[in-house]
Amino acid sequence: MAKLNVNGVVREFEAEDDTPLLWVIREQLGLTGTKYGCGVAQCGACTVHIDGEATRSCVRPVSTVTANQKITTIEGLSKDGSHAIQKAWAALDVPQCGFCQSGMIMAAAALIREKPKATDADIDTAMTNICRCGTYNRVRAAIHVVVKGGDPASAGLAIQRIEGSKA
Partner 1 sequence: MSAVLSSASRRGFLKSAVAGSLVVAFHIPFEALAEGEAASQIPIAKGASGATPEVNAWVVIKPDDTIVIRIARSEMGQGTLTGLAQLVAEELDADWSKVVTEYPSPGQNLARKRTWGSFSTGGSRGIRESHEYVRKGGAIARTMLVQAAADAWKVPPAECVAAASVITHTPTGRTISYGKVAEAASKLTAPTEITLKDPKDWKLAGKRLARLDTVDKTTGAQIYGMDIKMPGMLNAAIKDCPVFGGTVKSFDASVIEKRPGVKKVLKVGDSAVAVVADTWWRAKSALDALPIEWDKGPNAKLSSKDVAATLKEGLDAAEAVAGNSNGDAKAAIKSAARKIEAVYSFPWLNHATMETMNATVVWTPERCEVWTPTQNGEAALAATAEAAGLPAAKCDVYKMHLGGGFGRRGATHDWVTQAVRIAKEMPGTPIKLIWTREEDMQHGRYHPVTQCKLTAGLDAKGNVTALHMRISGQSILASLGQTLKDGKDPVVFQGLNAPGPEASIGYSFPNLLVDHAMRNPPVPAGFWRGVNLNQNTVYLECFMDELAHATKQDPLAFRRKLMADHPKHLAVLNAVAEKAGWGKPAKKGVFRGLAQTMGFGSYVAACAEVSVDKAGKVKILRIVAATDPGYAVNPQQIEAQVEGSFVYGLSAALYGECTLKDGEMEQHNFDTYQVMKLDEMPKVESIVMPSGGFWGGVGEPTIAVAAPAVLNAIFAATGKRVRDLPLKNHSLKKA
For partner 1, the closer CB: 4 or 105:
105
Q: Are 28 and 41 in contact (CB under 8 A)?
A: no
For partner 1, the closer CB: 29 or 50:
29
Does residue 129 belong to the site contacting partner 1 (CB under 8 A)?
Answer: yes
Among 132, 150, 151, 153, binds partner 1 (CB under 8 A): 132
Positive or negative, the CA dihedral 81, 149, 142, 93 is positive
Q: Are 107 and 14 in contact (CB under 8 A)?
A: no
Nearest to 145 by CA among 104, 166, 116: 116
Q: How far is the CB of 150 from partner 1 (least distance, A)?
A: 14
Does residue 13 belong to the site contacting partner 1 (CB under 8 A)?
Answer: no
Q: How far is the CB of 113 from partner 1 (least distance, A)?
A: 17
Nearest to 127 by CA among 91, 155, 103, 144: 103
Does residue 136 belong to the site contacting partner 1 (CB under 8 A)?
Answer: yes
Of 35-43, 49-57, 63-71, 110-118, the window that binds partner 1 (rule: CB under 8 A) is: 35-43
**Runs of H (alpha helix) within 10-100:** 21-23, 84-91
Does residue 55 belong to the site contacting partner 1 (CB under 8 A)?
Answer: no
d(C-alpha 167, C-alpha 75), whole Å: 19
**Binding to partner 1 in span 62-121, by CB under 8 A:** 73-75, 77-78, 80-81, 86, 89-90, 93-102, 105
Q: Strand 47-50 vs strand 53-56: parallel, antiparallel, or unpaired?
A: antiparallel
Does residue 155 belong to the site contacting partner 1 (CB under 8 A)?
Answer: no
Among 50, 123, 146, 147, binds partner 1 (CB under 8 A): 123
